Amino acid sequence: MMKQNIQALFNPQSIAIIGASNTPGKIGYFIVKNMLESGFTGRIFPVNPGSDEILGLKVIKKISQLPVKPDLAVICVPRQFVLSVLKELGQIGTRAVIVISAGFKETGKDGFLLEQELADVAREHNIALLGPNCLGLINPHAKVNASFAQGQPRPGNIAFFSQSGALCVAILDWALGGNIGFSKFISLGNKAILDEADMIAYLGKDEKTKVILGYIENVCCGERFIAEALKVTHQKPIIMIKSGTTSAGIKAASSHTGAMAGSDQAYTAAFKKAGIIRVGDVETLFNLARAFSTQPLPQGPNLAILTNSGGPGIMAADVCERSALNMASMSSAIVHKLQKVLPPYASLYNPIDIIGDATAGRYLKSLEIILEDSNVHAILILLTPTSAIAHEIDELSAGIARISKKALLAQKPVFVCYMGKKQVEKGRKVLLDAGIPCYDFPEPAIKSIEAMYLYYQWQKTPEAEPVYSRVDREKAKKVIFRAKKENQNQIVEFQAHEIVRAYNLPVPETRLARSSEEAVFMAMQIGFPVVLKIASPHISHKTDVGGVMTGLKTPEEVKTAFSQITHSAQRLRREAYIAGCLVQKMAPEGCKEVIVGFKRDEQFGPLVMFGLGGIYVEVLKDISFRLAPLTAEDARTMIREIKSYLVLKGFRGEPGVNFAALEKIILAISQLACDFPEIYEAEFNPVLVNHEKALVADVRLSLSY
Amino acid sequence: MMKQNIQALFNPQSIAIIGASNTPGKIGYFIVKNMLESGFTGRIFPVNPGSDEILGLKVIKKISQLPVKPDLAVICVPRQFVLSVLKELGQIGTRAVIVISAGFKETGKDGFLLEQELADVAREHNIALLGPNCLGLINPHAKVNASFAQGQPRPGNIAFFSQSGALCVAILDWALGGNIGFSKFISLGNKAILDEADMIAYLGKDEKTKVILGYIENVCCGERFIAEALKVTHQKPIIMIKSGTTSAGIKAASSHTGAMAGSDQAYTAAFKKAGIIRVGDVETLFNLARAFSTQPLPQGPNLAILTNSGGPGIMAADVCERSALNMASMSSAIVHKLQKVLPPYASLYNPIDIIGDATAGRYLKSLEIILEDSNVHAILILLTPTSAIAHEIDELSAGIARISKKALLAQKPVFVCYMGKKQVEKGRKVLLDAGIPCYDFPEPAIKSIEAMYLYYQWQKTPEAEPVYSRVDREKAKKVIFRAKKENQNQIVEFQAHEIVRAYNLPVPETRLARSSEEAVFMAMQIGFPVVLKIASPHISHKTDVGGVMTGLKTPEEVKTAFSQITHSAQRLRREAYIAGCLVQKMAPEGCKEVIVGFKRDEQFGPLVMFGLGGIYVEVLKDISFRLAPLTAEDARTMIREIKSYLVLKGFRGEPGVNFAALEKIILAISQLACDFPEIYEAEFNPVLVNHEKALVADVRLSLSY
């Protein structure tokens, strides 16, 4: 039903513009003008009680006098009239509405409440509502320009939606200057009803759209956003900017549209989970849009660079080496072929340097040969406009365009970088018109190919299921229930151990000693050396109060440690109830400490984290994140993507840790997070791991009610 | 003398072109044509035995028939004639020569030898020789274009030199398209005589040059390069690309001009030492060139952003926050003033968002007010071409140009970012012509301001002297002499300790025990706990052979350890002479391990390194580098710029280490490196440091003869 109404939003047969105006410069004038100039073939009804004619169109005085029910209505009346207009439209049965008018959520509490009323009316009448506080939308293929933006973009295969109207304006102007075409162009505004997830769902099925671009400052519903994106990203790329990543950005974001920016790690994890390509700036957004909308995906990482100049070739090789791509090793048959057509001083290995006196003919011959090499997955052509080639650049460009059609069949993207401006201007246009990305510098070209290769990998990786194991959920439930009953907001030690054991994870043998004598007795039963830890429901950072002593080897040491720990803790935390000390078997030597945990993100739910203990997490912030529920691959890559991974893998002859055991723990905490929404935060810290096994040595769970 | 000859190179009164040609398309034709079209007012002598007239100029048959001694000669004859031509020129007294001809070092051994002969002749006659294998040079202010590049750049204040001729071609074309002017434009070629250091020295004193740009693949002489740059960078900025940084880049570099790329860390350290701004790509090179050549340096880090749109404002704030700049806090008086002229819904705090209906007038009023704020050191104006402003962009641009003159007096750079293309094209040109950098996106604008601010800091920091302390150099000399005499290429343990002590650094109390009984006896003298280490001149990585045991608390433990260590070492290194074990006082608890060392770089001499021991250096590569000799500030920042600095500073209530003691060690190793060139590599590893002191616990010195 709603889906049908979104159809009407983008492909209306008739449009009413409520608040149409006769005064040039007014928004209500612009929209009528844009609709007329777009070449719309359906009916346009300007509505305004005070006018007779606008730009040659007869004006309807009020909504009730409309001759037919319009498929789409655009509202640009002052804010105080918006609600009643929407109600009227709802009553006559219009199911697609764009609210251009501002003065809602972005202005404070009153506006926020008004927007809620607006949304309620829209929901009541099942209206697909875009806005309020937006620029409108453009569908060039249907000749619809229901926006007050300047200029008509040409039809193309790129869709763009944006939470920022200003960015719409900028990008439209940029696209007009660069002759970029769009399939759909949407200003989301305050997202009272329709949001980014709806757009992704619609554009994912839209046949005119090959690449989806988006700019957001927040998402409305994290779960739906990921779910809708996941349905799309295996078919077409979604490339997005999420701004407001740093604290200054967030400050600006909150004062802007009242959007609360979620935590940046959670957004990164969400984009990763959904297969969305996240970029940091508009320039990259456009570079990738051009690349993805015109070229095939490379089927592997190997890049060949064809150049007429050494310096730029070196710089490009530098960039390639720092990327996920490789410099292709040319096969010997191809090198041999190149040798036959190139002068003796050319460099036949990658970068293939055909030297400053290269002509268009030499370029094209080399290009055709390189394309034959099955080791080569993508080609970048670099050119400096030397005197030998300056007058042949148009010819060369036409030749590249011709050969790139063959490359398209072989699924090999061809990118070009003309290093210059004046002499290469015309040739660049020839290439762009033929759908071949042409850049000023090698860097953006290589970055674009890299993004396409990474996306290719995402596309070919089958969607994996989250891992759930058989666990004793009932037992865990009981512990949590008990803690709730006792109004604890933390579960620690014994109780927490019980939950960990219920999820089939090993914990070290641990006993609670209430006196130093008991501690000595228990240590002897467990076997030396042991660890003593303060036992108190009120102390969660034990080391901060001198509450942990390790490597205790004798009864005397245990006895001393007990009184030291309890005294120190009591002195530093006067209010804490101290039950005694936990006596724990000392971890075997050579164990590494890692931390596994999760925190519930407001928008995206449990964000699982992994990192090495101590300095690595706290100082170096060397942490990997994923959103639960996790797949086996998630757990695998979480461990491997931290910078300190080598510490776990072992270096200088040290054996590596038991990765399978670690992965099991990561998957278990993901499952725990999904099973019990009342656990707000969980941390296994430290998890001790060596080449044999992994032990959850300490646990802290925080509850929220 | 040579300096005078370089003058003739750039400002000749007469020019001979040896190998001038009548055939369009030939290099010898291009150079005559370029000289004529540049409007050169001196005399031009084409030299060619086979022609009578070239482009209206009378041709001289041979050098001996030249009517006057030319100030400058350009040689573009085939390689086999170059040497004899140069000799002839030397004999008639020409002291500035450009060798365009290729076929020298870049082609292999024969060419290399020929180039050496060429250089010998040039040296003999004291000729300032540019090239061979270059494009020539251009001095637009003197109307000299002694190159075969296409097009005449206009005069400007930017100098550019490049080791890659291709890059010259590309950059010239780019500049022609963007109407960038140059003071000098130089293709260095193979650098047989004149190199980057000569150019820096010359351009540093050149009054027409405000900004120096360079592209190099290697330097000819590291020491001279740094020394010449240091004389310049406190007056004018040098911005350079050094390519060939990754292994693929280096591969391409060696096959290109036969240049051996030095280690990238050493280059980075050298650029830092010399105050050169290193950039990674041509785009950034140009962005910075435009910024530095037109705007004043910001006198502080605080950036104000003035925008008519929220989204781009947020993105810019994000970028600012990730840079060395701060978002300026507007002073309350200024906020008050802004409030008076801005509509109520504007955001008065930084980013100052004057909202989508802002006109040129509102922009300019706000800009003038913001400029008054003494908290603001630089301003970035963002604009999206909304309908409210689209038709006033020219007016706005002219207004910004006017106000920026005031800003110039106040030393506040003004940068602009017009987000769009079609509607802002004319306005952008107005700004660029007025010397105001105008970008498409916020990112490059902010990065440019950041680079200017960092350079401002460099400029105002007085040049510091390296630190040398009084040391017992004679004692160290003796140890090294003895090792040399015994043909040792490593100095370890006792001998190395002697050197460390001679440099006034503390080493732990250490004795050599030849038997387990001796070890126990010495341990009792030193006091438990102790460390035992294998003592062998042939074993440098002691831990690799199980050669270190720590925390030995009893005579029994020491005894066992002695035999374990010696057996293990003997088994794993059968050929090693084992003198026994070193008995060392155990370091106090809570010590951190750091590594201080140096390695002699081929090009730049001793490269001092600092990092935390173990994983930090080996896995995370968290190391800082500086070139010796070090200043006190070098030692200070080396410690503070590593990522794991917080580990030393102390976190979670831990006390920080004794930084002064660490700095002393770093300075001492720098001094050691300078005092003894025969020490090829040195490593103090570990240096143990706590809040009280730092001890050099182990040392390894490698000698080269």
> Which pLDDT tens digit goes with each residue over A260-283?
334 788 999 999 999 999 998 888
Q: What is the mean pLDDT of residues A565-592?
A: 86
CA angle A520, A524, A529 (to 5 degrees): 95
> pLDDT-derived band of residue B259, with 50, 70 and 90 as boundaries?
very low
User: How many Cα atoms are found within 13 Å in the side-chain-facing hemisphere of B214?
Assistant: 28
pLDDT tens digits, B416-430: 999 988 899 999 999
Chain B residues 446-505 within an 8 A CB cutoff of chain A? none
pLDDT of residue B491: 86
Residues of B in contact with A443 (CB under 8 A): 280-281, 283
Comparing B267-281, B395-409, B611-625, which segment has the lowest mean pLDDT?
Answer: B611-625
**B464 to chain A, minimum CA–CA distance in Å?**
32
Reference A160, options A147, A251, A115, B391; nearest CA is A147
Q: Which of A222-231, B248-257, B385-394 has the highest mean pLDDT?
A: A222-231
How far is residue A15's CA from residue A144's CA, in Å, rounded to a whole number? 10
Task: Determine the longest span between alpha carbons in chain B, in angstroms.
Answer: 101
Q: How far from the centroid of its chain's Cα atoms is residue A632's Cα?
A: 20
Contact B261, B217 (CB under 8 A): yes
Q: What is the mean pLDDT of residues A144-155?
A: 92
pLDDT of residue A651: 72
Of A177, A249, A320, the CB nearest to B314: A249
Contact A98, A137 (CB under 8 A): yes
Does A390 sit within 8 Å of B318, measured CB to CB?
no
pLDDT of residue B108: 84
Q: What is the mean pLDDT of residues B315-326?
A: 92
SS3 A563: helix
**A484 to chain B, minimum CA–CA distance in Å?**
31
Of A245, A281, A544, the CB nearest to B652: A544
Q: For chain A, how many residues are written?
A: 705
How far is residue B244's CA from residue B260's CA, in Å, rounded to a whole number? 9
Contact A356, A308 (CB under 8 A): yes
Residue with tokens 């109404």: A5
Whether B215 and chain A come into contact, CB under 8 Å, resolves to yes
pLDDT of residue A262: 47
Percent of chain B with pLDDT over 90: 68
Q: What is the mean pLDDT of residues B331-353?
A: 92
Comparing A520-534, B39-53, B251-265, B542-556, which segment has the lowest mean pLDDT?
Answer: B251-265
Of B248, B347, B387, the CB nearest to A320: B248
How far is residue B505's CA from residue A537's CA, in Å, rounded to a whole number? 49
Does B311 sit within 8 Å of A217, measured CB to CB?
yes
DSSP classification of residue A613: T
> pLDDT-derived band of residue B245, with 50, 70 and 90 as boundaries?
low
CA angle A524, A529, A530 (to 5 degrees): 75
Does A246 sit within 8 Å of B148, measured CB to CB?
no
* Mean pLDDT taken over chain B: 91
Contact A512, A535 (CB under 8 A): yes
**A282 to chain B, minimum CA–CA distance in Å?**
7
Q: What is the mean pLDDT of residues B527-534?
A: 91
Of B252, B257, B314, the CB nearest to A317: B252
**Cis ω before A629 (30° cut-off from 0):** yes
Chain A residues 313-352 within an 8 A CB cutoff of chain B? 313-315, 317-322, 327, 345, 347, 349, 351
pLDDT of residue A256: 39
Chain B residues 133-172 within an 8 A CB cutoff of chain A? 148, 150-151, 162-167, 169-172
**Nearest chain B alpha carbon to A654:** B544
Across the beta sheet with A96-99, the strand order is: A43-47, A14-18, A72-75, A96-99, A128-130
Does A246 sit within 8 Å of B308, measured CB to CB?
no
pLDDT of residue B624: 92
pLDDT tens digits, B405-418: 999 999 999 999 99
Chain B residues 232-251 within an 8 A CB cutoff of chain A? 241, 243-249, 251
Q: What is the mean pLDDT of residues B112-122?
A: 96
Residues of B in contact with A317 (CB under 8 A): 246, 248-249, 251-252
**A164 to chain B, minimum CA–CA distance in Å?**
5
Residues of B in contact with A390 (CB under 8 A): 150
Residues of B in contact with A163 (CB under 8 A): 311
> pLDDT-derived band of residue A252, with 50, 70 and 90 as boundaries?
low
DSSP-assigned states of every residue in A408-443: HHTT--EEEEE--STTTHHHHHHHHHTT--EESSHH
Task: Determine the longest span between alpha carbons in chain A, in angstroms.
Answer: 101
Of A107, A349, A647, the CB nearest to B619: A647
pLDDT of residue B247: 55
Residue with tokens 């050493």: B266
Does A320 sit within 8 Å of B620, measured CB to CB?
no
**Nearest chain B alpha carbon to A423:** B173
> pLDDT-derived band of residue B246, with 50, 70 and 90 as boundaries?
low
> pLDDT-derived band of residue B328, with 50, 70 and 90 as boundaries?
very high
In the predicted model, is pLDDT for residue A245 greater than 80? no
pLDDT of residue B255: 41
> pLDDT-derived band of residue B41, with 50, 70 and 90 as boundaries?
very high
Amino acid at A385: P
Q: How many distinct helices (H) and strands (E) make up chain A? A: 24, 31
Q: Counting one residue from A and one from B, how many pairs have CB atoms under 8 Å apart? A: 283
Does A282 sit within 8 Å of B166, measured CB to CB?
no
In the predicted model, is pLDDT for residue B159 greater than 90? yes
Q: What is the mean pLDDT of residues B358-363?
A: 95
SS3 B97: strand
Of A215, A318, A421, the CB nearest to B243: A318
Reference B73, options B114, B196, B62; nearest CA is B62
Residues of B in contact with A651 (CB under 8 A): 618-619
* Mean pLDDT taken over chain A: 91
In the predicted model, is pLDDT for residue B492 greater than 80? no
**What's the token pair of residue A135?**
């620029």
Of B30, B166, B321, the CB nearest to A311: B166
**A15 to chain B, minimum CA–CA distance in Å?**
23
Question: What is the complex's ipTM, to 2 decimals?
Answer: 0.75
**B420 to chain A, minimum CA–CA distance in Å?**
4
Chain A residues 10-49 within an 8 A CB cutoff of chain B? 25, 30
Does A177 sit within 8 Å of B422, measured CB to CB?
yes
Residues of A in contact with B425 (CB under 8 A): 177
Dihedral (CA of A144, A149, A153, A159) sign: negative
Dihedral (CA of B654, B658, B662, B665) sign: negative
Reading phi first (left if > 0) and then psi (alpha if -120 to 50, else beta), residue A564 is in: alpha
Residues of A in contact with B150 (CB under 8 A): 385, 387, 390, 423
> pLDDT-derived band of residue A620, with 50, 70 and 90 as boundaries?
confident
| Probe site for chain A from B173, B196, B589 (most A CB atoms < 10 A) | B173
**Nearest chain B alpha carbon to A148:** B387
Domains and CATH numbers, chain B: 2-291 (3.40.50.261), 296-460 (3.40.50.261), 509-585 (3.30.1490.20), 592-703 (3.30.470.20)
The beta-strand segments (E) located in B553-652 are: 580-585, 592-601, 605-612, 623-627
**B91 to chain A, minimum CA–CA distance in Å?**
33
Whether B178 and chain A come into contact, CB under 8 Å, resolves to yes
What b/e readout covers B278-311, taking b as 16+ CB neighbours within 10 angstroms?
bbbbbbbbbbbbbbbbbbbbbebbbbbbbbbbbb
How far is residue B606's CA from residue B600's CA, in Å, rounded to a whole number? 4
Q: What percent helix, strand, coil does chain A show, rounded to 5?
A: 45, 20, 35
Q: What is the mean pLDDT of residues A404-416?
A: 95
Q: What is the mean pLDDT of residues B60-68?
A: 95
pLDDT of residue B604: 92
**B681 to chain A, minimum CA–CA distance in Å?**
21
Of A169, A281, A441, the CB nearest to B281: A441
**A290 to chain B, minimum CA–CA distance in Å?**
16
In the predicted model, is pLDDT for residue A166 greater than 60? yes
Contact B369, B340 (CB under 8 A): no
In the predicted model, is pLDDT for residue B503 greater than 50? yes
In the predicted model, is pLDDT for residue B54 greater than 70? yes
pLDDT tens digits, A114-135: 999 999 999 999 999 999 999 9
Comparing A86-90, A221-225, A287-291, B570-574, which segment has the lowest mean pLDDT?
Answer: B570-574
Of A390, A440, A615, the CB nearest to B150: A390
pLDDT tens digits, B669-681: 999 999 999 998 8
Whether B281 and chain A come into contact, CB under 8 Å, resolves to yes
In the predicted model, is pLDDT for residue A257 greater than 50? no
